[in-house]
Structure 1
Amino acid sequence: MDYYPKAVATNQEPSPSIVLAEDDRATRDSTRLALELERYQVIAVANGQEALTAIAQHRPELIILDLMMPHVDGLSVCRQLRDAGDNTPILLLTARTQVTDRVMGLDAGADDYLTKPFALDELFARVRALLRRSSYGSNGDWIILGDLRIDERGRRAYRKDRELILSKTEFDLLQLLAFNAGTVLGHHLIYDRIWGYDFGPDSKNLAVYIGYLRKKLELPGEEKLLRTVRGVGYVLMRP
């Protein structure tokens, strides 16, 4: 079976840059320090407006946003970036635990979320997963499955002559399923490859994104490609 290998960092690779936006000073400083000890370059700001400015200036490889911030909140930052075509991975930090609140963050364009208080090891795992996903598709190959074409270098996907307008997470999910077309991928494996963390059996995170992807991939009248294998996972069918 073909699965994406996990990237291995080397000393020659430049340190990834991160914009961290958190209005609580103690949380911001401790999180910044922890990330810097992991050898990330961190630009820490106190609100959403400062985050937008820092992102425009520094073009980071990852953005970490607190959900509730003054001036411009995390959801608004997500929406502004995605509306502008910025696909930089976004991790939301939130003290809210309701599923609806998490879904709102995903709908706004966030790639992942982490509930406060969080363990640093879990934060690091989420960061590594999002950065690893950004590196997929660097070989310039196309994946072609019938009328579905995926440009891995350009990070674009097409169904017949129709371009699929996908978020970063939706593209990564489609890419993983297409790379393993015909093979049922289990929930645990998909969580590991896409999010770098298994949210557990009660999580709706994967199902939400499968729903988003299916709506864009399969318009009325088009052949169904993405299938659910109940209790196991998902498979993208070969033509």
Structure 2
Amino acid sequence: MNSTKLRVLVVDDESYLADLVATALRYEGFETAVAGTGSTAVSKVESFRPHLIVMDVMLPDGSGIDTTRRLRSAGCEASVVFLTARDATEDKIAGLTVGGDDYVTKPFSLEELIARIRAVLRRSKHPREHARLVFADLEIDDEAHEVRRHGTPVDLTPTEFKLLRYLVAHAGRVLSKRQILDHVWEYDFGGSDAVVQTYISYLRRKIDVFAPALIQTVPRIGYVVRVQEPGPGAGPQADAR
């Protein structure tokens, strides 16, 4: 894939929460790393070079605000979204004073946090890196909500768009029906995973009318976006099962 993924470092001493946030961000197409302490975060910033840091205010070796101050002093320009269990005005002021970009109070929804992260990145100097995905001759523009294949506009429904974007964000990786269902139709979807097969068929009729076919079936596992030249008996109208 020719697009550059934005990198997000999640810093929280609650490993379950850090992993949950990192997993949700990966589903959204970000590259992620986690750290459980301020000192680990400083080391990770040097090697991982994140575009944005999700920083818990309360860390076992000091505050996230102090860690951010250290990072700013060292020249780190990554955007910072603070997480805190407190909603005190002084915390918000302190966080903004050391160069924080936003503040989310625990408990929070993943949807809200991801929306805040996207908003911060749009205001930063890296807004376009994540706004456009390109694979082969397929282009997806997040902001315009447009898709083009071979330079031709492709009209997709919101669900088709979300499904295609998820597949392309993970191009080359085989995704199971359950993974796709959990991401595109949300985790509390009560229907059958047969809906995935149905929408894969819809996408193929719109995306793979051009050669080569990009949406491939991996029998008994799931689906993957990759370039595969059509061979005998194969083609864009291949069965979605």
- TM (normalized to structure 1)? 0.50
**Other-structure match for 1:115:** 105
Rate the CA distance shift 1:69–1:29 in 2: closer, same or farther, 3 A. same
Verify the 8 A CA contact 2:121 2:127 in the aligned structure 1.
no
Separation in 2, partners of 1:137, 1:26:
29
Size of the alignment, in residue pairs? 128
Separation in 2, partners of 1:69, 1:83:
19
Separation in 1, partners of 2:115, 2:47:
26
Separation in 2, partners of 1:66, 1:136:
23
**Other-structure match for 1:17:** 7
Letter in 2 for 1:90: V
**Other-structure match for 2:41:** 51
Q: Counterparts in 2 of 1:1-239, with a 5 A limit?
A: 12-135=2-125
- The structural deviation recorded for 1:58 is 1.4
- The structural deviation recorded for 1:134 is 2.1
Unaligned runs of 5+ in 2: 129-241
Moved runs in structure 1, 4+ residues, more than 4 A? none
Rate the CA distance shift 1:115–1:86 in 2: closer, same or farther, 3 A. same
- Please report the RMSD computed on the Cα atoms of aligned residues, expressed in angstroms: 1.8
Partner deviation per Cα, 1:9-36 (whole Å, 9 max, x = no partner): xx74221111111101221121111111
The structure having more radius of gyration, on CA atoms, is: 2
Separation in 1, partners of 2:57, 2:111:
20
Verify the 8 A CA contact 1:48 1:77 in the aligned structure 2.
yes
Percent of counterpart pairs with the same letter?
Answer: 36
SS at match of 1:15: coil
Letter in 2 for 1:17: R
Separation in 1, partners of 2:56, 2:21:
12
Separation in 2, partners of 1:80, 1:54:
13
Verify the 8 A CA contact 1:49 1:72 in the aligned structure 2.
no
- TM (normalized to structure 2)? 0.50
Verify the 8 A CA contact 1:89 1:110 in the aligned structure 2.
yes
